[in-house]
Amino acid sequence: MSSTIIVIVGPTASGKTDLSIKLAKEFNGECINADATQIFCGTDIATNKITTEEMQGIKHHLLSTKKVNETYSVADFQKDGRKAIEKILKNNKTPIIIGGTGLYINALLRKYNFKSDDHIPGFNKKFDNLDNNQLWEILNQKDSISASQIHPNNRYRIIRALEIYELNGIKKSDLIVDNKEFYYDKILFIGINPDRSLLHSKINSRVLKLVDMGLFEEIEKAWIDNDKNKNAQALKCIGGPEIIGYLNKEYDYQTAISLMQRNNRRYARRQITWFKNQLKETNWFTHNYKNFELMCLDIVNFVKKRI
């Protein structure tokens, strides 16, 4: 069995999960989640987490490993992800990494050494008077690359990026740029980039589907389990801040849905930009959803020639 690591990247709602199952079946693989929001239990609807049935017997790693009121760092993911890769390779199987969190993927696969795991006491309190968009703009001015791949609602990660800048005197993105060399010898990057207008339509429809599945109720429970701390890390998924705003009576139900759709579309655009700029090794494939299966076949044949 080849020791190649397959990595699947792309925007939300692009079909990464479906492709990962096809590749895992074809190449005796096991999947490793690289989506920061899917690490947590209790927000399965919000993160559109793969179900046991959808896994089709394929083993998955780093899904729902933390409680909804816990925290999880990039350094934690690097350590846990490398353990998973080592275990999969030892069993003569193919590691297949799937996710939309670019920083997680970079930290896992590159020789990314964390210069500091320290924290500045009370650092997050400095920004209590700023809303999420204002905070994101501060990061964007200091470190536009990191800002481009962090959702404005992910207050935890924005503040951590600012804290790293304060601690090290260097941008978080520069820590990654300075470690371009890969940790592993054989990595094959596959990117999915759907037709943009169709992707936006898919995102809008997905939000409505998740609402029908009980998204509002799930977020409310997770919020309560976090003692109504809107800045809890697990609640930075799409739907978290928007629904909490609704629960706090900041706007009505329909506005919350519209905000989720808009913010998800914006996040997808930032994901595409980040992956194309930061993972130039990626082999990109396009589809219009109707020809998704044909694209998957092309990818299978592409991978066969390279592992």
Tell me the C-alpha distance between 91 and 88, whole Å. Answer: 5
DSSP 8-state code for residue 283: E
Q: What value does the mean pLDDT take over residues 205-218?
A: 98
Q: Indicate if 97 and 124 belong to the same structural domain.
A: no
pLDDT for residue 175 is more than 80: no
Q: Indicate if 40 and 148 belong to the same structural domain.
A: no
pLDDT for residue 113 is more than 80: no
Q: Indicate if 184 and 291 belong to the same structural domain.
A: yes
pLDDT for residue 172 is more than 80: no
Tens-place pLDDT, residues 26-40: 999 999 999 999 999
Is residue 12 annotated as involved in ligand binding? yes
CATH number at residue 289: 3.40.50.300
Is residue 161 annotated as involved in ligand binding? no
pLDDT for residue 1 is more than 50: no
Is residue 282 annotated as involved in ligand binding? no
Q: Where are the beta strands (DSSP E) in the chain?
A: 5-9, 29-33, 60-61, 94-98, 187-194, 283-287
Q: Which of 145-149, 186-190, 199-203 has the lowest mean pLDDT?
A: 145-149
Is residue 100 annotated as involved in ligand binding? no
**Mean pLDDT, the chain, whole residue set:** 92
In which residue are the tokens 């020809």 written? 291
**By C-alpha distance, which of 102, 119, 129, 112 is closest to 160?**
119
Instruction: Write down the pLDDT at residue 24.
Output: 98
Q: Are 268 and 204 contacting, i.e. CB atoms less than 8 angstroms apart?
A: no
Q: Indicate if 195 and 223 belong to the same structural domain.
A: yes
Q: Indicate if 242 and 274 belong to the same structural domain.
A: yes
Number of domains in the chain: 2
pTM of the model as a whole: 0.82
Is residue 14 annotated as involved in ligand binding? yes
Q: Indicate if 20 and 72 belong to the same structural domain.
A: yes
Q: Indicate if 65 and 192 belong to the same structural domain.
A: yes
Q: Indicate if 255 and 122 belong to the same structural domain.
A: no
pLDDT for residue 256 is more than 60: yes
How sure is the predictor about 120, in pLDDT bands with cuts at 50, 70 and 90? confident
Tell me the C-alpha distance between 173 and 122, whole Å. Answer: 23
Q: What value does the mean pLDDT take over residues 88-106?
A: 95
Is residue 146 annotated as involved in ligand binding? no
The domain boundary, picked from 146, 178, 210, lies at 178
Is residue 13 annotated as involved in ligand binding? yes
Give counts: helices (H), strands (E), the chain: 13, 6
Tell me the C-alpha distance between 292 and 18, whole Å. Answer: 10
Alpha helices in 72-171 (DSSP H): 74-90, 102-109, 132-142, 144-148, 155-168
Instruction: Write down the pLDDT at residue 166.
Output: 79
Q: Higher pLDDT residue, 75 or 79?
A: 79
Tell me the C-alpha distance between 212 and 216, whole Å. Answer: 9
Percent of the chain topping pLDDT 70: 94
Instruction: Write down the pLDDT at residue 92.
Output: 96
How sure is the predictor about 179, in pLDDT bands with cuts at 50, 70 and 90? low
Q: What value does the mean pLDDT take over residues 151-155?
A: 89
Range of the domain at 109: 5-113+179-304
Q: Indicate if 172 and 201 belong to the same structural domain.
A: no
Tell me the C-alpha distance between 163 and 18, whole Å. Answer: 37
pLDDT for residue 79 is more than 90: yes
Q: Indicate if 107 and 126 belong to the same structural domain.
A: no
Side-chain-facing half-sphere of 295: CA atoms under 13 Å = 22
Is residue 99 annotated as involved in ligand binding? no
pLDDT for residue 290 is more than 70: yes
Instruction: Write down the pLDDT at residue 119.
Output: 76
- The four Cα atoms 290, 291, 292, 294 give a dihedral, to 10 degrees, of 150
